Amino acid sequence: MMGPGWYLRRLSRMGPVEVAGRVRHAVIQQRWRSSLPEPPLWPPHPHFHVKAPLCAAKRHFPYESGASPEAVKRLLGTADELMAGRAEYFGVVREDLVEPDWFLDPKTGRRAPDDVYAFDVPYRSEDTVGDIKQIWEPSRHQHLTVLAAAYALTGTDAYAERVAAHLRSWWAANPPLRGPHWVSGIELGIRLLSWVWTRRLLDGWSGVDALFEDNPDFQLQLWHHQNWLSTLRSHGSSANNHVIAEDAGLLASACAFGWFPQSERWRAEAMRSLDVQLARNTFESGLNAELASEYHGLVLELGLAAALEADAAGKPVPERTWGVLLRMTDALASIVDNRLRPPRQGDADDGFGLILDGGETDRWASLLATGEALFGRRDWWPPVPGEDVRTPLFAALAVRLPRATGVRPDRRPAELRDAGMTILRSGKVWARCDGGPHGFLSIAAHAHADALSVEVRHDGVDILADPGTFCYHGEPKWRAYFRSTLGHNTLQLGGRDQSVSGGPFLWTRHAETKVLDVQPSRWVAAHDGYAPAVHRRTVDLDGDELTITDEVLRAAGTDVRLAFHFGPAVHVDLDGAQARLSWDRDGERRTATVVLPGSLTWTAHHGETDPPLGWYSPGFGRREPATSLIGTGTSTPTEPLTTTLTFES
C-alpha cells in the first residue's frame, strides 16, 4: 500500500486543473457507492451494424484474404490449448481456465475480494489481493477473441460455446462497480475492444444474438463500461497509454454497439479525445512519448483498432488521427533490428490492445504487416513476413486503402531527435543510443533511469542488453533494480540514480539529456542527472567495432560504477580488464571481445539477489540470470573511460 509520503509526492506532480479533476472523480465515485447509475431502456431490436469481414460460413477465408496457413495453424493451436484450460500469463502457467475463477491470483494463491465496492479494493497491495496483473489479464478477454477467431475460421461450435460460457460467467461474477475489475479504466477499455471483436467473429453462430443483442446482462455490462469510461477518463499526469485505451474502447464500442441514447455523444467525445491524446502521446518523429517500446506497440494497436471501427461504422476519425498512426508505423519500421525486434526501452508489461492471432505470432512483424496493408510500405522498410490473421481482418474494415497519406521519410531515419533515440547500424550490428527525455508527463510513469544507456545486438541477439522490467507491484527491490541506473548500460556516479524515484510509477526529479552530435557512425550526448557533475558519452561504430567513451566533468574523485549487462545467451569470460564473449546463432558459434577501461576494477555478477545484480527479464513476471560486468573506481576529468567491443565472427 502507498503511504502518506507517496500521496504527497504524487500530489506535487499535479497542477491545479488535475487536482480539481481528481476531486470531481472522487465525488462521483462516492455518489456511485450509494446510488448506482441506471442504464436506459434497451432498444427493442438492436442490430450489430458494423460489417463483419468473415463469418463461419466463409470456410475459405484464410486463403482468399491472405492469412497464411501457418498463421491459422498457430491460432488454432493456441485456441485448442485454451479449450483444454491452459494458458500462460506473465510466466505463470494456468490449467484452470475451463471454468476460471476471475479473482484468483495463481502466483500467490490469493483471491481478490469479489463483493467490495470497486474503488475500495486495495489493488496495489499484493498481500491483500495478490498480483493484480495476474487477476486482471484474463479479464481483458483477449483469450476470447482468439477462441472466437478459431470459430470464425472453422465453424466449430465448441469454440463459440466456450466463449459464451466465459462471458456469462464473467458478467454474473462482476456486477457493475463490484470487485477489482472495475477499478482501472485501461482494463475496461481493452475489455470493450475484445467484446466488439468477439461479437464480430461469432457472427453466423446460432447463439450469438442470445449472447449479445438479446441479453440483458450484456446490456447492463456494456452501458456501465461505457458510462464509466465517459465519466472517469484519465487526465493530467495520468493521460498516457491508459487514456488511449479508454478512448479506443469507448469509441469502438459506441460505433459497434451504438444502441443507447448516449451512444452518439460517447462516440463523438471519445473520437475527439483519441485524436488529441494520440497526438500528445506521440513525438513528431512517430515514437511514443513514454519512450517505452512495448507501449508504442500497445498504443498503435489500440489506435488502429478504434480508427478502423469508426471507419467501418461510417464515422471516420479525423485525418490527423490517421496521420499519427502512419507516423507511428514508419517509426516502428525505422527502429527495429534485422530480426524485426524493436528496442527494449523503458517499462514493458506484455500488454496488447487486441489479440487475433496465436501465441507464437511475432507481434512486431504483425504490426508492420498491418501497417503495410493499411498505409503501404516504403522502399527502406525491412522485409515483413506478413503471416498473421489480424492484418487481413483489419484491412477488411478500412473504407479505402491506403488509409492515410502524408509526408513520409524517403530513407530509413537513423536519428529520431525529438525522442532522443539514435540507431547506429553496420552489417549485423545494431546499436541504440539513449539521449531522450527521462519520460512522459510530470510523473514519467514508465521511464527508467537509463540516460545515455546503449543497447547493442548482433544479428538480433542481445549483446549489451537492456534488462527489461520484470514487475510493477509487490516486489519493490526488484522494481527498483530493473529501472535503476546500475541496471542499465550506463554510468552511475556517487552511488545514486540519475533520476529520483518517488514510487513504482513516479519520478520526482528527471535527468535532462542533450544530444550534442549525431553522424552516420557517431553519437555524442550528455546529461545533468548528477549536477553539478556532467556525464558525457560518445559512441562510435566502425564496421564490427563499437567504441564507448565516457567522460565525467566537474566531479573529480567521485565514486563511479560503469555497468555493462549482457544478454542471457552470451557467455562472458572476464580476465582483468578484458572479456571474451561467445554465443550461438542459427547453429553457429559467434564470438566477440570487450576491452574495458583499465583504470577501473572489474567484477562479474550473475543472478545475485542481495542486492539484485546480473538479471535479464525476457517478459513481464519473468527473470533469468545473465552476466553483468561492473567497473568501480573514481572519476578523473583528464582520463576518459574507453570501452571497445569487437565482433569477430
pLDDT of 204-216, one tens digit each?
999 999 999 999 9
Interval 25-30 mean pLDDT? 93
Q: Is residue 555 very low, low, confident or very high in pLDDT (cuts 50, 70, 90)?
A: confident
Give whole-number Cα distances, 165 to 97, 144, 498, in Å.
Answer: 11, 10, 51
Which residues contact residue 332 at a Cβ distance below 8 angstroms, ignoring those fewer than 6 apart?
Answer: 286, 296, 297, 300, 342, 364, 367, 368, 371
Question: Given a cut of 80, is residue 262 above it in pLDDT?
Answer: yes
Q: How far apart are CA 446 and CA 443, in angstroms?
A: 9
Is 564 in contact with 629 (CB distance < 8 Å)? yes
Q: How far apart are CA 589 and CA 73, in angstroms?
A: 32
User: Among the listed ranges 22-26, 98-102, 149-153, 371-375, which one has the minimum average pLDDT value?
Assistant: 22-26
Q: How far apart are CA 187 and CA 134, in angstroms?
A: 13
Q: What are phi and psi of 247, to 5 degrees?
A: -65, -40
Question: Given a cut of 60, is residue 179 above it in pLDDT?
Answer: yes
**Ramachandran region, residue 508 (left: φ > 0; alpha: ψ -120 to 50; beta: rest):** alpha
Is the pTM higher than 0.85? The answer reads yes
The one-letter code for the residue type at 37 is P
Interval 71-88 mean pLDDT? 97
**In this predicted structure, what is the pLDDT of residue 53?**
55
Question: Given a cut of 60, is residue 526 above it in pLDDT?
Answer: yes
Read off the DSSP letter of residue 529: T
Is 240 in contact with 440 (CB distance < 8 Å)? yes
Interval 184-201 mean pLDDT? 97
Interval 87-104 mean pLDDT? 97
**In this predicted structure, what is the pLDDT of residue 635?**
87
Question: Given a cut of 70, is residue 145 above it in pLDDT?
Answer: yes
Is 438 in contact with 290 (CB distance < 8 Å)? no
Q: Is residue 54 very low, low, confident or very high in pLDDT (cuts 50, 70, 90)?
A: low
User: Among the listed ranges 17-21, 278-282, 462-466, 532-536, which one has the minimum average pLDDT value?
Assistant: 17-21
Quick: pLDDT tens for 302-360: 999 999 999 999 999 999 999 999 999 999 999 999 999 999 999 999 999 999 999 99
Q: What percent of the chain has pLDDT over 90?
A: 86
**In this predicted structure, what is the pLDDT of residue 65?**
44
Question: Given a cut of 90, is residue 460 above it in pLDDT?
Answer: yes
**In this predicted structure, what is the pLDDT of residue 592?**
98
Question: Given a cut of 70, is residue 6 above it in pLDDT?
Answer: no
Secondary structure (DSSP) of 35-54: SPPPP-PPPSS----SPPS-
Adjacent-strand bridge partners of 560: 493, 633
Dihedral sign for Cα atoms in the order 175, 356, 401, 322: positive
Looking only at Cα atoms, what is the longest distance across the chain? 81
**In this predicted structure, what is the pLDDT of residue 233?**
95
Q: Is residue 634 very low, low, confident or very high in pLDDT (cuts 50, 70, 90)?
A: very high
Question: Given a cut of 60, is residue 396 above it in pLDDT?
Answer: yes
Interval 470-498 mean pLDDT? 95
Candidates 183, 291, 195; CA nearest to 240 is: 291
Alpha helices (runs of H) in 155-232, residue ranges in sequence order: 157-173, 185-201, 208-211, 216-231
Choose between 44 and 601: higher pLDDT.
601
Give whole-number Cα distances, 576 to 46, 419, 615, in Å.
Answer: 74, 37, 22
Q: How far apart are CA 541 and CA 534, in angstroms?
A: 23
Angle CA 531–537–543, to nearest 5: 170
Q: Is residue 51 very low, low, confident or very high in pLDDT (cuts 50, 70, 90)?
A: low
Which residues contact residue 309 at a Cβ distance below 8 angstroms, ignoring those fewer than 6 apart?
Answer: 50, 196, 251, 252, 255, 256, 397
- CA torsion angle for 313, 182, 242, 346 (degrees, to 10)? -130
Quick: pLDDT tens for 418-427: 999 999 999 9
Q: How far apart are CA 193 and CA 251, in angstroms?
A: 9
Residue tagged 566537474 (cell numbers): 554
- What average pLDDT does the chain have? 93
Question: Given a cut of 90, is residue 266 above it in pLDDT?
Answer: yes
Choose between 502 and 20: higher pLDDT.
502
**In this predicted structure, what is the pLDDT of residue 64?**
45
H helix or E strand, kind and range, residue 270: helix 263-280
**In this predicted structure, what is the pLDDT of residue 7?**
66
Q: Is residue 63 very low, low, confident or very high in pLDDT (cuts 50, 70, 90)?
A: very low
**In this predicted structure, what is the pLDDT of residue 5?**
74
**In this predicted structure, what is the pLDDT of residue 407?**
86
Q: What percent of the chain has pLDDT over 70?
A: 96
